[in-house]
């Protein structure tokens, strides 16, 4: 643990638990294993059955806990504990020391999404005391902010163990409002290989920056077309597929024809619109309209592609029993859709119906002085216990 903290009480409040979780610097570039060991020790001390699964590198860990009987079925609560960096951000206090002020709790990950995980862990003693007939699963995953490898590894482990829940709630910040759908996302790194030469003799070289710029121009045109022609799905903001180029680089100095360039881009597609089809469309356009002129000068020139992110979309039906359950427990009369991605798409693809509902606002995530309202944590605490009472009744006494 990065900061000295008081010994955790046997039955801590959610704020006390969050204080400990924020104290671990689990920025995605770091290992999360100290935090996972802390959470596992706490759960085991209350008799909770736990399992672990690991990243390919072995330095990151998922935790799968089953509060109640260690069997398949029941419902899962899912949260990641990796966070975005604080590098270059100006904080009013140490981002890895939870600070309470005016009903708000400040700290990296407090909103996204250690607050939800803290609420789940703090609820464990109460849930164990309920003698549940079916399990309340708890998924704590790694690398959600980067590759989402953790959720994929967890699904493989569930398939191997046979301990899958019937449904899942992902506690991403939604102000405790049920979110039924989010867009699918594919992110790609595009590299361009040209041919170097002196800028006074452009015919003897292949300008990689020009080629990249030509591709990006076609991407911008496609983004405009989608905004006008759709497809459109109401409830999303914006209600159509979007395309974005986030970074672009290339070249060395002005009088050398650049032999290399690179850009990173993404598609965020509404349900029913396949981001992989859009990706194939771009590659076909480049192969037909840009690469031939490059390769006429030097056959070694051209484009290469690397998929660096692939998040399936999520779409739970309004008529699904999980929708009705979460609406009843939260008291919400409406549901929503969001453009950001979650691990829910991976769970849904694995056959687990999933909804997003968690404390805090996504507007507070990733920012300096990230915070979550204590009132949101209080609402989440009540939500978890009410969910267990409604869905997982007590087992009969022997």
Q: Tell me the domains of the chain and their CATH numbers.
A: 14-181+313-391 (3.40.630.10), 184-311 (3.30.70.360)
Among the options 143, 144, 166, 278, which is catalytic? 144
Residue 234, judged by CB atoms within 10 A of its CB (0-12, 13-18, 19+), counts as exposed
Measured CA to CA, the distance from residue 111 to residue 138 in angstroms comes to: 18
Residue 139 structure tokens: 């998924």
Return the SS3 of 132.
strand
Instruction: Please tell me whether the peptide bond between 230 and the residue prior to it is cis, using omega within 30 degrees of 0.
Output: no
Residue 7: predicted pLDDT: 82
Task: Tell me, yes or no, if 274 is annotated catalytic.
Answer: no
Q: How far apart, in Å, are the Cα atoms of 183 and each of 162, 241, 282?
A: 29, 8, 19
Q: Cβ(231)–Cβ(183) under 8 Å?
A: no
Query: pLDDT per position in the chain (398 positions), as tens?
Result: 445 576 888 899 999 999 999 999 999 999 999 999 999 999 999 999 999 999 999 999 999 999 999 999 999 999 999 999 999 999 999 999 999 999 999 999 999 999 999 999 999 999 999 999 999 999 999 999 999 999 999 999 999 999 999 999 999 999 999 999 999 999 999 999 999 999 999 999 999 999 999 999 999 999 999 999 999 999 999 999 999 999 999 999 999 999 999 999 999 999 889 999 999 999 999 999 999 999 999 999 999 999 998 999 999 999 999 999 999 999 999 999 998 899 999 999 999 999 999 999 999 999 999 999 999 999 999 999 999 999 888 876 55
Q: Which residue has the tokens 């597609």?
A: 269
Q: Which residues are bridge partners to 77 per DSSP?
A: 138, 169
Instruction: Please tell me whether the peptide bond between 226 and the residue prior to it is cis, using omega within 30 degrees of 0.
Output: no
Question: CA angle at residue 81 from 77 to 87, to 5 degrees?
Answer: 150
Q: Cβ(349)–Cβ(182) under 8 Å?
A: no
Measured CA to CA, the distance from residue 38 to residue 46 in angstroms comes to: 13
Q: Which residues are bridge partners to 139 per DSSP?
A: 64, 78
- In the DSSP assignment, the letter for residue 232 is B
- In the DSSP assignment, the letter for residue 251 is -
Residue 1: predicted pLDDT: 45
CA nearest neighbour of 108 among 145, 139, 135, 76: 145
Residue 3: predicted pLDDT: 56
Q: Where do the DSSP E strands lie in the chain?
A: 49-54, 61-67, 75-80, 99-101, 104-106, 136-141, 167-170, 179-182, 184-193, 197-198, 242-250, 256-257, 260-269, 302-311, 314-315, 336-338, 354-356, 371-373
Q: Average pLDDT over the chain, rounded to whole?
A: 95
Q: Cβ(5)–Cβ(114) under 8 Å?
A: no
Among the options 25, 82, 266, 310, which is catalytic? 82
Task: Tell me, yes or no, if 157 is annotated catalytic.
Answer: no
Contacts of 76 (CB under 8 A, 6+ apart): 136, 137, 138, 139, 165, 167, 168, 169, 347, 352
- In the DSSP assignment, the letter for residue 388 is H
Measured CA to CA, the distance from residue 20 to residue 394 in angstroms comes to: 31
Phi (first) and psi of residue 76, to 5 degrees: -105, 145
């Amino acid at each position: 643990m990065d900061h000295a903290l008081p010994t955790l009480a046997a039955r801590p409040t959610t704020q006390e638990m969050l204080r400990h979780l924020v104290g671990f610097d689990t920025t995605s570039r770091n290992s999360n294993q100290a935090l996972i060991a802390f959470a596992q020790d706490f759960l085991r001390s209350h008799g909770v059955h736990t399992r672990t699964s690991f990243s390919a590198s072995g330095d990151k860990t998922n935790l799968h806990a089953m509060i109640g009987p260690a069997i398949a079925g029941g419902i899962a609560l899912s949260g990641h504990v990796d966070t975005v960096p604080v590098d270059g951000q100006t904080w009013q206090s140490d981002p890895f020391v939870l600070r309470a002020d005016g009903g708000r709790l400040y700290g990296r990950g407090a909103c996204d999404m250690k607050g939800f995980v803290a609420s789940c862990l703090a609820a464990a003693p109460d849930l164990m005391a309920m003698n549940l007939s079916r399990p309340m699963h708890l998924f704590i995953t790694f690398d959600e902010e980067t590759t989402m490898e953790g959720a994929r590894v967890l699904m493989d482990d569930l398939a191997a163990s046979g301990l899958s829940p019937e449904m899942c709630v992902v506690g991403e910040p939604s102000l405790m409002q049920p979110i039924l759908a989010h867009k699918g996302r594919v992110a790609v790194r595009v590299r361009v290989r040209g041919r170097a030469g002196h800028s006074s003799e452009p015919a003897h070289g292949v300008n990689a920056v020009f080629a990249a710029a030509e591709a990006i121009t076609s991407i911008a045109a496609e983004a405009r077309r989608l905004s006008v022609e759709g497809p459109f799905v109401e409830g999303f903001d914006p209600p159509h597929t979007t395309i974005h180029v986030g970074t672009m680089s290339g070249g060395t100095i002005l009088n050398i024809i650049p032999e290399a360039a690179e850009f990173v881009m993404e598609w965020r597609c509404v349900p029913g619109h396949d981001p992989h089809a859009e990706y194939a469309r771009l590659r076909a356009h480049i192969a037909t309209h840009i690469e031939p002129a490059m390769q006429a000068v030097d056959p070694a020139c051209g484009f290469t592609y690397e998929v660096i992110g692939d998040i399936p979309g999520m779409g739970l039906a309004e008529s699904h029993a999980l929708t009705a359950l979460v609406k009843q427990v939260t008291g919400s009369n409406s549901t929503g859709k969001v453009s950001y991605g979650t691990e829910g798409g991976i769970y849904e693809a694995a056959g687990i119906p999933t909804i997003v509902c968690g404390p805090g606002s996504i507007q507070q995530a990733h920012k300096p002085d990230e915070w979550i309202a204590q009132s949101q944590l209080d609402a989440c605490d009540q939500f978890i216990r009410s969910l267990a009472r409604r869905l997982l009744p007590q087992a009969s006494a022997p």
